[in-house]
Chains A and B, each alone.
Chain A
């Protein structure tokens, strides 16, 4: 075995099983662990006696494992919880003082890293649901102690407070403990949970032995987005801020977290380089851009060869690479040809990707460099983040606080499929409910007679993407709004007014004098039937002689559900001051 480590374990309960499980975990990673497991419940003696086995074993890591029900059993009594608040606060302080004096003692005698657990929050209190009414109840007493320990450990590099409560909660408090085993063997953890605990302690051991991984190598298709770039194209891949496509967005968010922590990213994908890069550069919902990747192996070569090259280029060991690829065949290839690479068993469901990354032990660090923090601080300063929920005096105040921006663009290759999709899906805020296919939008976009405009809505909280469409038909000095729709996602913010006003402005700039807009009433859109009037249009009253009056051919009074509106060149428009139009 290449590496070895000295570990000491002290506790007020049976810790042998944890020691055994830890030995097994270390062996799996090719680490020889020399574990000194102190005699049962002798943690005080071992810490205070400078000749004890604890110190002579020269541990690099000392695990202090103390159970709350043995350390401060009196806290859990009804009479204690209904006693004076000051009494309880001083109990918390006294438990805290006792614990930190133990830690300080160890630190005075040894340069070992110390990992001490925090304490589990019980669900049941002797006070029942009134636990919060006799503040602090048992839950808050333990929370306070845990928080004091965290705060105290902040500036001590040698000390880590292990979130025992958290891992037990995640595993399931009910499954983590067996009262039977506590009574029979003073064993605080079930067989299965003991293995989980050992796995969690490896988070400290691996980075200590410089075994943290440095680079995450990622596939693209069905990994960073759903679908295949080469077949689905930029507009067909699944990557969105809502719905199933959000699974990929959230996965990218977690990858970005790793990037900001200092982990290198690389791509390893069988794709046409230009097609793939174009998506990474231009897709509105990509969080990762080409600049995030230190190496881009987008080619038709074998993926193991690509990884070897990545390692060489980045000057890192093959054994510091983690590989995430949805394709089991590719994973098997890499596992076989490069056994030192950590190949993640990717679940066959993208909704589990983000969690898979979060659970990894491989990228755990004992320290984050100053450079990474500084880089992140600059990034933060450029980004407006708002966590506070303020009180608004009026709706306009609230809307103004959203810092809305709409970007209007003529239809292009990327937006055409999305525009068509919106005409097919949108029902509520859709003035004419005309359904178009990609090719219809494409031919209208290419035609001089039509103006096809998409509306992308951005606000303080994020980018909603393309969520509005306007199609206008031009004939001489007249124009008709053939299609005007907004996704329900962005309704209620007056974006519909800002959008139409800019469309009117653009049409007027083109020399259009009269703009007609029809509204065809349906069950689904009838809530919005007064929109054009509210936007400044006037209702058009049919005279019966429309064909001769210069009204565009398209505007025939052919439908009892159809209402026609009109606005001419000198009508004033009510602006929406807090929405920026680009």
Chain B
């Protein structure tokens, strides 16, 4: 998971980057509450200039999942602009 992604998530959750793993969830990180979660979603949308659908936003399984879907969107945008 790339640094820009991890830095932003860590900042919003107010944790250190090394605490973030692919299988991290709201259960494994106490700072990750519902309020923070939406903030993470919005921040990633802002920083990477993509949009998660409402359904996508409710179905994230863990941090790695968020990263995977985010990268899919980012690459799709890159493909379009080529």
Task: Give the complex CA separation of A183 and B43 in angstroms.
Answer: 17
Task: Give the complex CA separation of A192 and B34 in angstroms.
Answer: 19
Q: Could you say which interface size class chain B belongs to?
A: 10 to 19
Task: Give the complex CA separation of A185 and B34 in angstroms.
Answer: 8
Report chain A residues within 8 Å CB of B38.
Answer: 181, 184-185, 187
Report chain A residues within 8 Å CB of B54.
Answer: 180, 183-184
Give the interface centre of B34, B42, B46, B54 by most chain A CB atoms within 10 Å: B42
Complex interface residues of chain B between 53 and 68 (CB less than 8 A to chain A): 53-54, 57-58
Task: Give the complex CA separation of A181 and B42 in angstroms.
Answer: 9
Q: Are A180 and B57 in contact (CB under 8 A)?
A: yes
Q: Are B43 and A185 in contact (CB under 8 A)?
A: no
A17 is an interface residue with CB less than 8 A from chain B: yes
Q: Are A16 and B35 in contact (CB under 8 A)?
A: yes
Report chain B residues within 8 Å CB of A178.
Answer: 42
Q: Are A184 and B57 in contact (CB under 8 A)?
A: yes
Report chain A residues within 8 Å CB of B58.
Answer: 184
Report chain B residues within 8 Å CB of A16.
Answer: 35
B21 is an interface residue with CB less than 8 A from chain A: no
Q: Are B57 and A191 in contact (CB under 8 A)?
A: no
Tell me the nearest residue of chain A to B35, going by C-beta: A16
Smallest beta-carbon distance A186→chain B, Å:
10
Main SS at interface, chain B: helix
Contacts A181-B38, A185-B34 known; A192 to B57 CB distance under 8 Å? no
Q: How many residues of A contact B (CB 8 A)?
A: 13
Report chain A residues within 8 Å CB of B43.
Answer: 191
Complex interface residues of chain A between 160 and 190 (CB less than 8 A to chain B): 178, 180-181, 183-185, 187, 190
Report chain A residues within 8 Å CB of B76.
Answer: none
Q: Are B39 and A192 in contact (CB under 8 A)?
A: no
Contacts A180-B54, A180-B57 known; A191 to B46 CB distance under 8 Å? yes
Task: Give the complex CA separation of A183 and B38 in angstroms.
Answer: 11
Report chain A residues within 8 Å CB of B42.
Answer: 178, 181, 190-191
Task: Give the complex CA separation of A192 and B52 in angstroms.
Answer: 17
Task: Give the complex CA separation of A191 and B38 in angstroms.
Answer: 10
Smallest beta-carbon distance A207→chain B, Å:
30
Report chain B residues within 8 Å CB of A187.
Answer: 38
Task: Give the complex CA separation of A348 and B35 in angstroms.
Answer: 40
Task: Give the complex CA separation of A184 and B42 in angstroms.
Answer: 12
Smallest beta-carbon distance B50→chain A, Å:
13
Report chain A residues within 8 Å CB of B52.
Answer: 180
Give the interface centre of A17, A180, A185 by most chain B CB atoms within 10 Å: A180
Task: Give the complex CA separation of A287 and B35 in angstroms.
Answer: 52
Tell me the nearest residue of chain B to A187, going by C-beta: B38
Tell me the nearest residue of chain A to B51, going by C-beta: A180
A residues near B (Cβ < 8 Å) are 14, 16-17, 178, 180-181, 183-185, 187, 190-192
Q: Which 4 A-B pairs have CB atoms at the shortest separation, nearest pair first?
A: A191-B42, A185-B38, A180-B54, A16-B35
